[in-house]
Structure 1
Amino acid sequence: MRTSLIIVKYYPIFAFFGFLSMAIFRIPLFFNKNIQFYKLMGTGKNGTFDKVPDLSQWSILITYDGNLTLKEQFGSFILKWFELFCKKQTIYLLKPIEGHGLWDQKKVFGDLPPSTDYEGEIAVLTRATIRLNKLRYFWQNVAPVASQMATADGFITSYGVGEIPWVKQATFSIWQSKAKMKKFAYRMPQHKAVIKKTRKQDWYSEDMFTRFTIQQKIEK
């Protein structure tokens, strides 16, 4: 199983094409037999869970088997669209290695062990569907903690992505090592407290946590 995440930044004059693409791209992705799963997502402004969308930045996540070219993964129509309207493309080619949880009631990254002995540079995708009656508690507690991630030891970069603003949220982050990522996630008192609240108060109707090795990063 392989995964690709593409993050694109549109020229300001073409920002509307980013919004439009979320509807149009469903057609070629649906008929692309090379991929197993896809998600078209918007992004937040601050690189993590965020109420404020960045309407010039959008993303696509796909899963597939084997070694495919970018054209085989995304299709020539989508890649040409990005070449015409986007000023920046960042593509992460990933291999899922650890994780738990579901996305749309599916194990979209296959059957993964909860942990491995891998300790190198790592990418992490954390996502959740937030219960509507828990939205206020989620944003009160999670947003302040998430904003501290950028200053954590070992942090490299992150993107806030999501299918539905405020309700279906995810963060994709990259860390120098798994140990440094876990130090932020499980040893910071504020973060530990929020994790306990999410479980005790049942904030999510669905959640997922997946770790990846980065096979390649492509920038255009």
Structure 2
Amino acid sequence: MGSVSTISFFRFKGAGSKFWALRQMQFAKPFLNKVNGLLFYKLLGTGKQGFSTSPDWEVFSLLQHWESLGDAENFFGQHQWLQKYRNRSVENWTLFMRPLRSKGLWNGQNPFEAKTSEANSIPLLAVITRATIKRQYLWKFWNSVPASRESLEQREGLLYTKGIGETPFIHMATFSLWKDMQSMMDFAYSADGHQRAIRRTRELGWYSEELFARFQPFKMLGNWSDCKGMELLRQEFSTEKT
């Protein structure tokens, strides 16, 4: 299978657990830096209402890219820091994904090695878009977000979306999960709000770095109440051969 990617979401309740999770964005690095087979990782905060300037202090995310599926499974099966992180959360969910296509850079590198050919027949599609926004364009960028977000959240075939990021307002990303390739393509090329945002991006050049990556999910752990496609995911993964 080659390299695989994972994205995890964790929900925390109570001021103490939320503050502990926030501190882990810094204090977890010594543990994650030593994980076998982990090629790239980011501990990420999230935004409310899918993609928002308002932080969601309940939800944190962990994005990882692995040398092999076995390395990923070992981490999620037995790593002590991960078990402690899970136990602190009230809900957690992990998607295992095959990289399909990745274009652009994240901190000067393209971390998602793609070895699978794209095909319109794949049943599920996950997309990550990430950008570093030039400081002089921060206001213009965030002023354009509501129209683009509204057109995304109302799309047919969208199972889940969440804004994720390393640094509020500047280093921002979006994760979205679609029931199929066609649903994502219909949004990318026909949604008015999204198309306006793309045109503004090209006109102003408001990103200093950007990345667009597609993945095929093939396995999951846990549950996520905010994802309206959980039953579909269970059906797809129950017959998946890994």
> Would the TM-score normalized by the shorter structure come out above 0.5?
yes
State the TM-score, normalized to the length of structure 1. Answer: 0.92
Does the CA contact (< 8 Å) of 1:158 and 1:172 recur in 2? Answer: yes
Q: C-alpha distance in 2, partners of 1:181/1:84?
A: 34
Q: C-alpha distance in 2, partners of 1:112/1:51?
A: 35
Q: Give the CA deviation at 1:74.
A: 8.6
State the TM-score, normalized to the length of structure 2. Answer: 0.84
Aligned counterparts, 1:1-220, within 5 A: 1-13=3-15, 14-48=17-51, 50-68=52-70, 69-72=72-75, 76-110=79-113, 116-119=118-121, 120-219=123-222
Runs of 4+ in 1 over 4 A off after TM superposition: none
Assess, with a 3 A threshold, how the Cα gap between structure 1 residues 186 and 124 changes in structure 2: closer, same or farther. same
Stretches of structure 2 lacking an aligned partner (at least 5 in a row) = 224-242
CA deviation map 1:136-195 (0-9, x unaligned): 111111233113312111111111100000111111101111111111111122211210
Q: C-alpha distance in 1, partners of 2:78/2:61?
A: 15
- Which deviates more from structure 2 when the two are superposed, residues 137-146 or residues 33-42? 137-146
Which structure would you say has the larger RCO, counting Cα contacts within 8 Å and 6 or more residues apart?
1
Stretches of structure 1 lacking an aligned partner (at least 5 in a row) = none
Q: C-alpha distance in 2, partners of 1:29/1:74?
A: 15
Equivalenced residue count is: 218
Identity across matched positions, percent: 27
Q: C-alpha distance in 1, partners of 2:165/2:77?
A: 19
Q: C-alpha distance in 1, partners of 2:144/2:24?
A: 32
Q: Give the CA deviation at 1:212.
A: 0.5
- Aligned partner of residue 109 in structure 1, secondary structure: coil
Q: Give the CA deviation at 1:112.
A: 6.7
Does the CA contact (< 8 Å) of 1:9 and 1:57 recur in 2? Answer: yes
Q: C-alpha distance in 1, partners of 2:145/2:48?
A: 16
Does the CA contact (< 8 Å) of 1:2 and 1:94 recur in 2? Answer: yes
What amino acid is the match of 1:138? F
What amino acid is the match of 1:107? N
Q: C-alpha distance in 2, partners of 1:65/1:84?
A: 26
Q: C-alpha distance in 1, partners of 2:114/2:57?
A: 34
